[in-house]
Structure 1
Amino acid sequence: MLGLIGKKIGMTSYFNELGYCIPCTVIKAGPCTVLQKKTLKKDGYYSLQLGFEEKKKTNKPLLGHFNKFNSSPKKIIFEFAGNFLNSPGDIIKVDFFKENEKVDIVGKSKGKGFQGVVKRHGFSGVGEKTHGQHNRARAPGAIGAGSDPSRVFKGTRMAGRMGGKRSTIKNLNILKIDFKRNFLIVKGSVPGPKNSYLLINKIG
């Protein structure tokens, strides 16, 4: 399903008709330029390539790609799979969506760096500080038997790099649309820090 590329502005509060305060995220959705339309006959599959935000400098191969489709260089390029009616040069704006519509939003979660098992997996540590266990409060404990199987199983929850991964939040409700500024106000939170880029996918 076709969607838009967007940018996370931040979080705010939205008050509905009953006066309830709803936490929500403000996203700048588009405008996106259609750069290329791929077809089954020419490329082996159907898709629509969109570009978002102007880019000051780019390399020559990419510049040739943009010039081929009469477009200025774009910061973010993404393909949406499917056979759509849009043509290169078309501008897709936030009016592509409707209020109270459901969307799936894809982003890259905040990176937390290298973290231990307590923060990364919610472990409670080995135990109390009694019986000489002065440095075991946040330790992972045993990671497997010794003689058999004599190895650590794949997928064992251990310390490691946390966050910074592609993440999808499904079925988020669009509360309000600001057509002048191309803003989507979506219920709840979405992955990533402020000014990070998102994919907003239409459902159905």
Structure 2
Amino acid sequence: MPPKSPLNWGLLPPTFLLPSSTRALLPLTPIRSIKSTNTPRPDRFAYDAKKPPLNSTTASALARKAHSIPLRTGVLALKRGMTALYNPETGKRSACTVLQLDRNEVVAHKTRDKNGYFAVQVGAGQKQAYNVTRPMLGHFATARVSPKRWVVEFKVRGEEGLGVKVGEGIGAGWFREGEWVDVRGVSRGMGFAGGMKRHGFHGQPASHGQSLMHRGMGSAGGSQGSGSRVLPGKRMAGRMGNERVTVKNLRVLQVDEANGIVVVNGCVPGPKGQIIRVQDAINKPWPKGPMKLEKIVSTPITPEVAEAIAAAA
């Protein structure tokens, strides 16, 4: 039999086996360890020591997106067509688009306590009551507005963006001349289009040796390099248009509050009669426009303008 190890009657058991009262009476002995030369980070998600770590709460996520959320709500407008305006000082001609507001009214408010974010629900247009579902009829009746054809939410940064009360109407005076806006709409559908029209390909060379392939897109995939297949996302022929398009930084040239018309510089996606979302531009300084309807200063109509409007009617 192997010899038994002698019992160490004079030694104490390990400290983690001793009770807390006995452990407090023992002298403190320094514990030697390896010292790291790297400064520990405050959080494993803080990749930059100079910046605070990211938080995973909903409030932190909204705070990170606050710089790209407008201060106030937008409106819905109909694209009426394009025209041109001349600058009286420089004589420069600039193409512009005429947008007309159609009975914009606030239907509901979204708050962070109830919905997790701040938003203003705006309805525009008109719809017959027999073509509206009963839940939506109750929704409109709660706001005391007529049934709307289009209902859209516009996110706002904070509670101050809910200055427009439920049931109030928003007109063209919500914007002022010289402000910058972003417009969103569905582009005009082109149907099935080839690679040259859809993506701007140059096509094949129109020289000797090319036979009936002048507008062809060419090779669509490699033999061995890509696994003898066409990679996902390859630009090819297909349906063109009929997708959501955002045009940024359009300047407001004219505002006609009486007729609900806002004229913006440049082009707007979609055909005539397309519904367009108009909101303050996020890449420009926020305008000093009104946050409430009471702060809108209406421009008086001169007698000459009134006579012109009456003659046109």
- The answer to whether TM tops 0.5 is yes
1:58 deviation in Å?
1.3
Runs (4+) of structure 1 exceeding 6 A deviation are none
**Looking at both structures, which has the greater relative contact order when contacts are Cα pairs under 8 Å and sequence separation is at least 6?**
1
C-alpha distance in structure 2 between counterparts of 1:123 and 1:38, whole Å: 45
Amino acid at match of 1:80: F
Amino acid at match of 2:91: G
Residue in 1 aligned with 2:100? 28
Structure 1 counterpart of 2:224, from 129, 133, 147: 147
1:129 deviation in Å?
5.9
Matched, 1:75 2:149: yes
Amino acid at match of 2:79: K
- Write 1 or 2 for the structure with the bigger share of helix: 2
Please show how residues 1-204 of structure 1 align to structure 2 within 5 Å: 1=70, 2-17=73-88, 18-56=90-128, 57-82=131-156, 83=159, 84-128=162-206, 130-131=208-209, 133-149=210-226, 150-203=228-281, 204=286
The superposition leaves residues 123-177 of structure 1 with CA deviations (integer Å, 9 ceiling, x where unpaired) of: 122222633x432111111112112322212222110111111111111111111
- Return the TM-score normalized by structure 2: 0.62
1:94 deviation in Å?
0.9
- Write 1 or 2 for the structure with the bigger share of strand: 1
Amino acid at match of 2:141: N
What's the Cα RMSD here?
Answer: 1.4
SS of match in other structure, 2:197: helix
Instruction: Return 5+ residue gaps in structure 2 as ranges.
Output: 1-69, 287-313
Q: Are 1:94 and 1:183, in contact at CA under 8 Å, matched by a contact in 2?
A: yes
1:61 deviation in Å?
2.1
* Identity percentage of aligned residues: 38
Q: Are 1:30 and 1:92, in contact at CA under 8 Å, matched by a contact in 2?
A: no
C-alpha distance in structure 2 between counterparts of 1:126 and 1:30, whole Å: 49
Q: How many residues align?
A: 203
1:9 deviation in Å?
0.5
SS of match in other structure, 2:138: helix
C-alpha distance in structure 1 between counterparts of 2:234 and 2:272, whole Å: 32
Task: Return the index of the structure with the highest Cα Rg.
Answer: 2
